[in-house]
Structures are given as C-alpha cells and as structure tokens.
Amino acid sequence: MSVPSSVTIHSPATVANMVCGFDVLGFAVKEPYDIMRICFTEDTGITIINEDDFNLPTDPEKNVAGAALLALMEELKEPVGFELRINKQIKPGSGVGSSAASAAGAVVAANKLLGDIFSKEDLVRFAMNGEKVASGVKHADNIAPCIYGGVTLIRSIFPLDIIPLQAPPLFVTIVHPQIEVRTSDARSILKQQVLLKDAIKQWGNIAGLVAGLQQSDYSLIGRSLEDVLIEPVRSILIPGFDLVKQKAKKAGALGGGISGSGPSIFMLSKDEATAQEVAKEMKSVFESISLEHHTYITTINTEGVKFIN
Amino acid sequence: MSVPSSVTIHSPATVANMVCGFDVLGFAVKEPYDIMRICFTEDTGITIINEDDFNLPTDPEKNVAGAALLALMEELKEPVGFELRINKQIKPGSGVGSSAASAAGAVVAANKLLGDIFSKEDLVRFAMNGEKVASGVKHADNIAPCIYGGVTLIRSIFPLDIIPLQAPPLFVTIVHPQIEVRTSDARSILKQQVLLKDAIKQWGNIAGLVAGLQQSDYSLIGRSLEDVLIEPVRSILIPGFDLVKQKAKKAGALGGGISGSGPSIFMLSKDEATAQEVAKEMKSVFESISLEHHTYITTINTEGVKFIN
C-alpha cells in the first residue's frame, strides 16, 4: 500500500441525539463539511493553520483537532510531525457537530497518512479527546457518525461500542437560528432524575426508531421521533421551536427536533419536495419573529469522512 | 371462507421485558402452551370449562380469558354465546405469561370461529382486558408476542403500536423456582424516579438489542442484554438470581434475566448444546440452596397462537 504525501478530506456535519436517542444516536449529513489537509513535517509536533475566519485556537492542546491528533500520536511508536490546514465550513456552535468534524477529520486524515494503522473505533477514541476540549465531556454521538457515516448507535462509551444502523434514504432540512446555545448550558438545565414512566416511553421510541430505520419503515420512523424527556426542557432555549416543529410536520416532515444541543433544528422527510416545503415553513416561523436564520436541505451521508486526493 | 364449528388452539408462553426492554419488549416460546377449544352455544354469554387442576375462576368477568372475550363480544353486532374449554399447561404465577396465553388464546380462537373479522391489533386490545383482570394493569408485552409470534416491540399502548421484530434462531433456557412473586409486588417495589444517566444506558441497550436482533448479531444481542434499572431492584425477590445469571453466562449464554416480573429466569443461547449446559448450571444453583424448581429448554415461537384443527 502506498502512503500519500498529503491527505485532503471532507469532514461532514452530524446531527446528534436524533430526538429520542439522547446521547446514543447520531447521523452524518452530506453538507456542510469542513475541508482539511494534513501532511508530515520534519519537526515533530502539530502545526495548525486555520484557513477560515473563525479564529479558532491554533495551540494543539486547545484546538479540538489538535487534541484528537495528540491522542493519536500518543499511541505511535515514534514521534512524528503533522501540519494540519483547516478550512471550516461548519459554523462553530450551530449544533451540527462542528467540533466533531474537526476532531474526527483530523484523525481520519492522519491515519490515512500513516498507512491506515488504526481501526475506526480507535479513531473515535482519539477524536473524543477533541470533544472533551470543546464541551468538557467525552461523547461520541457526533464523532461516530462522522467517521462511520450513516446513522450510528453508541450503545456504550466505556467500553466503546458503536453499531452502524441501516437506514432508508432520508432528506434532512436544517434551520440554524442565529442565537447561541452553549452545550454546557443545554446540559446543565436537564434534570438528573426522570420519571420511570417517561423513560419507558423514551426507550419504546428509540426501539421503534431503530426498528423503523432497519426496516425502512418511514411511518414507524415518524411515529418514533418523539422525545418526552430532553426536548421539553431544552426547547425553551430556542425561540419558536414548538411552532417550527408543528409547521414542519404539517408540511409533511416525518419528524425531527433539536440537532445536538441546538440551536439548529432538523426535520426528516421522505422526499426532496417535502423537505423543501418544510424549509419554507421553518423559514416563515423565524421570519415572523425576526430572528436571523440559515436554512438548508441535505441528505444522510453514508460514507462519513471522505478522501479527496 | 368456511367457518369452523369449533376451534382448537395452542396458546404459547411468553417472556416479557427481555432484560432491557421493560414494559415494551416480549417474545413467544414454543413450549409450554395452553390448549383451548372454543365453540358457539345456543344461549348467549360465555361458559368457561377448566380442564386442568388450577381452579381458576369460571365467572367470565373474573377469568382472564372471559374478560378478553367479553371485550371482543362488545364489538359484535349481534349477541353470541361461546363455550371455552381451557387446559392450562402454563403454570399461573410462573412469570411466563400464563394469563396472557389465556386472554390471547381465547380471542384468537373466537375470531377464527367468527370468520376472522378482527385484526391482530384488535385482538391485542381485547386481550389486554384479561391482563387487567390478572394484574390490575392493561399491558401488552406478553399479549402481543403471544398473538404475533416472535419478538415484538410495543412502542406505545395508547395508541396501540406493535412492531414485530426479526430475530435469528435462539434457544431459551427457563428455570422456574417454586416461589411466589406477585406482579403487583414486583411493580410496587420499583422506584418511580430513575437517574437520567441510567435511563440513557438502558435506551442504549434496548437500541442495541433491537439492532442486534434485526441484524442477527448474536454478540450484540448478548452485550445489550443488560438492565441497570429494573433487575437490580426486582432480583432481590428471587433467591440465587445473581449466581444463576453469572453461571449461565459462564456456561455460554448470550444473556438473560427475569422473565416478566418473575420468578422465572430465562437465558438465551445460540445453540441447543449451550442451552443444555445453561440449564445444568441453573439447576445446580437452586439445588445448592434447596429451592424446588423446574427447568426447561425451548426456542422462540415465530407463529404465536397456533390453530390445531
């Protein structure tokens, strides 16, 4: 196997939680994606060059891609040097896995440069160190779909147990209202205790969603996209959320909810025409409350991080 | 379609909860099963004849099969009369859906006699009235697999949403220690509040179990058969439970736990030889504490209630 002198990748946005799958489900989308290029350097260590205007830190320990690479380098037998150029297209803080795209993209690209010596599971493990830098918590519900593609279940973090799930074609409409929701705030407002009866409803729904995805049963997917525990609490951080959801479903969306910890909202549809109707309805809500927003339509990305050269 | 003058059926035992699927998962087994025969009578109403030694009530309103039939009869246009003979082979109170077998069997048999006028979902709805007589609560996690066969998910009771799940061949070892565990007691000792982090673990596991069943991934099924919420509380009602589980898994069982609300314990295995090893280990535990018990090996029953004539 020939080892390339540099590797360029597209690292996609991801939607974590997937309504009833808080902390355990996520899926990758085709767009947006970050563009990253990695090559070896003569000096050891990590050089990060940002090719975008987000002014993210370039100190490897404070940069999510850098932290992920550092974890990978700890398991190499010999010290190496990487130069990583990041052109971020996924807006940080939008709730579609911007930090995961950096962390996952960096280690997937580095692994290719090293001759594919690590497994996907190893790469998830390394990339979770990036998530820790971003939000203080190691989680994999964006990282895993970013690396594996498609819809993934993270049954367990310790030990890591990632299960790729089959899914039928789905169109994804995403609206990003231009407000800030900190992941740490979105986490801290959750109650640590929940009613058993609500938890039962939630696991009935996630079981239904997994079955619906694997059986390509769109109606079952739609019926199962219900979250009685997290969404009622977190949605208060997103103005217009209830109306967006209501109008999107009326326009034909199967269902949807908060993407990750927000503020983006995603809706799944069976076909593109519906996804476009849904986008129109989403826009109308934020226009009516004069909240700046960005709406886009994409599909599920089944390959994850993509090699360009 | 010709309508028979009498219908004889085998109504199988069922295992509810399936470890991480409390209140929402269940599966039917090949054996044991109740034998029931139904025919029309000239007089309207229900006559119940018990052909076994369990001395169950024959007043239709107090008999689980009778209560299920009464619910069915309420939706008929004209009054009819049924005679129902029950030869119960599934010991009441053993935790393998004895009441569900009576309730489900009665309405499936009656529906055949009536010329198949009701859907399976209707029949589940009627049979849940039998469960209400038995335990005070309408639940479908035994009824649904009894009627549909195989493994079923009850995503929701109100409205009823039953999803049959694919599953690979599985051998089931069941041990019934001869103690009494009342369903109402097993329910009342559960905490109404649970930790969110435990609930997340539980829904990661049920998602893994559903994926494992649908993908015929035995290892994933095994890893997902973990219950951090219900089993730790309920298992204290079953002497020797922890040791039975530990020894069964050491003998090669994929996993398992309390069947329904107990006292029976079930273990799943990939092949019959393992299931027999597991049975031996289960027996040894109850022998060592001198607790009378009955052990048997069966498989998943994919057809549910079976017509004999």
Q: Could you read off the pLDDT of A21-54 as tens digits, one per residue? A: 999 999 999 999 999 999 999 999 999 999 999 9
The answer to whether residues B14 and B97 touch, using CB atoms and an 8 Å cutoff, is yes
Answer whether A204 sits within 8 Å of B20, measured CB to CB. no
How is chain B split into domains, by residue range? 6-166+302-307, 171-299
CA distance linking residue A133 with residue A70, whole number of Å: 12
Name the minimum distance, in Å, from the CA of A107 to any CA of chain B.
26
Given B14, B131, B281, B295, the catalytic residue: B131
- A23 and B200: CB-CB below 8 Å? yes
- Region A76-80 average pLDDT: 95
- Chosen for mutation from A191, A200, A234 (greatest number of chain B CBs closer than 10 Å) is A200
Burial bucket for residue B251 (CB in 10 Å: 0-12, 13-18, 19+): buried
For the annotated catalytic residues of A, the residue numbers are 131, 183
Alpha helices by DSSP H, listed for chain B, are 64-73, 98-113, 120-135, 143-148, 183-188, 196-214, 218-224, 231-234, 241-250, 272-288
CA distance B233 to A170: 41
With beta carbons under 8 A apart, name residues in chain B contacting A214: 210-211, 214-215
pLDDT at B183: 78
Residue A187 — pLDDT band, cuts 50, 70, 90?
confident
Neighbours of A20 (CB within 10 A): 29
Query: B207 and A23: CB-CB below 8 Å?
Result: no
Residue B44, pLDDT score:
95
Q: Which residue of A has its CA nearest to B20?
A: A203
Instruction: Write the single-letter amino acid at A30.
Output: K
pLDDT per residue, tens digit, chain B (309 aa), is 566 899 999 999 999 999 999 999 999 999 999 999 999 999 999 999 999 999 999 999 999 999 999 999 999 999 999 999 999 999 999 999 999 999 999 999 999 999 999 999 999 999 999 999 988 888 999 999 999 999 999 999 999 999 999 999 999 999 999 998 887 788 889 999 999 999 999 999 999 999 999 999 999 999 999 999 999 999 999 999 999 999 999 999 999 999 999 999 999 999 999 999 999 999 999 999 999 999 999 999 999 999 997
- Residue A11 pLDDT more than 90? yes
| pLDDT at residue B309, rounded to an integer | 74
Confidence (pLDDT) at B102: 98
pLDDT of residue A104 exceeding 90, the answer is: yes
SS3 for B4-54 is CCEEEEEEEEEEECCCCCCCCEEEEEEEEEEEEEEEECCCCEEEEEECCCC
The phi and psi torsions of A162 (rounded to 5 degrees) equal -110, 130
Best interface-test mutation with A: which of B137, B151, B190, B200 has the largest number of A CBs within 10 A?
Answer: B200
Q: Is the pLDDT of residue A269 over 80?
A: yes
Q: Extract the tokens encoding B40.
A: 């029309």
Query: For the domain bounded by A171-299, which CATH number is listed?
Result: 3.30.70.890
Contact A149, A26 (CB under 8 A): no
How many Cβ pairs within 8 Å bridge chains A and B?
126
Residues 6+ apart with CB under 8 A from B239: B177, B179, B289, B291
User: For tokens 């799958």, what's the residue?
Assistant: A21
CA distance B107 to A102: 58
Per the CB < 8 Å rule, is A203 touching B201?
A: no
Tell me the chain B residues in contact with residue A223 when contact means C-beta distances shorter than 8 Å: 155-156, 161
**Which chain A residue lies closest to B154 (C-alpha atoms)?**
A204
Nearest chain A residue (CA) to B22 = A200
Nearest CA in chain B to A230: B196
What's the pTM value of the predicted model, to 2 decimals? 0.96
The CA distance from B299 to the nearest CA of chain A, in Å, is 22
Cα B83-B86-B87 angle, rounded to 5 deg:
150
What CA–CA distance (Å, rounded) separates B152 from B124?
Answer: 12
Q: Is A309 a residue whose pLDDT tops 90?
A: no
Residues of B in contact with A153 (CB under 8 A): 204, 207-208, 211
Q: Distance (Å, rounded) from C-alpha B16 to C-alpha B12? A: 13
Chain segment A106-138, per-residue pLDDT in tens: 999 999 999 999 999 999 999 999 999 988 888
Report d(CA A21, CA A126) in Å as an integer.
23
Helix (H, G, I), strand (E, B) or coil at B104: helix
Strands A151-156 and A255-258: unpaired
Question: Considering only CA atoms, which of A37, A30, A36 is closest in space to residue A12?
Answer: A30
Q: Tens digits of per-residue pLDDT, A138-172?
A: 899 999 999 999 999 999 999 999 999 999 999 99
Q: What residues of chain B lie within 8 A of the CB of A165, using their CB?
A: 211
Q: Is A135 helix (H, G, I), strand (E, B) or coil?
A: helix
Cβ contact, residue pair A24, B207, below 8 Å: yes
Identity of the residue in B153, B193, B196 whose CB atom sits nearest the CB atom of A207: B153
CA distance B184 to B261: 9
- Closest Cβ–Cβ partner in A153, A191, A214 for B208: A153
Beta carbons of A203 and B20 less than 8 Å apart: yes
Q: Which of B180, B196, B46 is nearest to B113 (CA)?
A: B46
Q: Which CATH class is domain A6-166+302-307?
A: alpha beta
> Pairing state of beta strands B45-50 and B81-87?
parallel
* Beta bridge mates, A307: A9
Annotated catalytic residue B173: no
Parallel/antiparallel/unpaired status of strands A171-177 and A293-299: antiparallel
Q: ipTM above 0.90? A: yes
> Which residues of B fall below an 8 Å CB-CB distance to A?
20-25, 153-156, 161, 163, 165, 190-197, 199-212, 214-215, 220, 223-224, 229
Q: Per the CB < 8 Å rule, is A156 touching B191? A: no
What tokens does B271 get? 């092949």
- B76 vs B80, B114, B126, CA distance in Å? 8, 10, 12
